[in-house]
Amino acid sequence: MSTNKTFMFLDDRLQRLLLSLLEKKKVAYRVDKKGEIHYSPAVEELIANELIPSVRTRVFPAWQILSCPKDWIERYREYMKGRKIPFCEESIDGQLCFLLPQHYRPHQWEKI
């Protein structure tokens, strides 16, 4: 299996849920030592458009993904914690991103 797509919820409970969905759908994947799921572009549509969103929706019924440069991650994390903005972290193709409720507007936040 050629794998060049990766994904991981940093929350173990969410990651286990995603892994159970992958097993249930009999999707080809592998998990590396860090726990990251590797899969091929051939199953990307199912994983990225159906399985991952179904887990995200269990966290926040309406959600968005916030990505930022690596050197902004800690500032965003502290900003959200300080303002009690709920979020979950996930890794998409090696990039850390934040899963947020949809009603927050990161582009309108004060300068971080």
Cβ atoms of 106 and 66 closer than 8 Å: yes
Which value, in Å, is the radius of gyration of the alpha carbons in the chain?
Answer: 15
**pLDDT (tens digit per residue) in 64-81:** 999 999 999 999 999 999
d(CA 21, CA 52): 9
pTM: 0.90
The domain locations on the chain are: 5-108
**pLDDT (tens digit per residue) in 1-40:** 556 899 999 999 999 999 999 999 999 999 999 999 999 9
Return the pLDDT at 79: 94
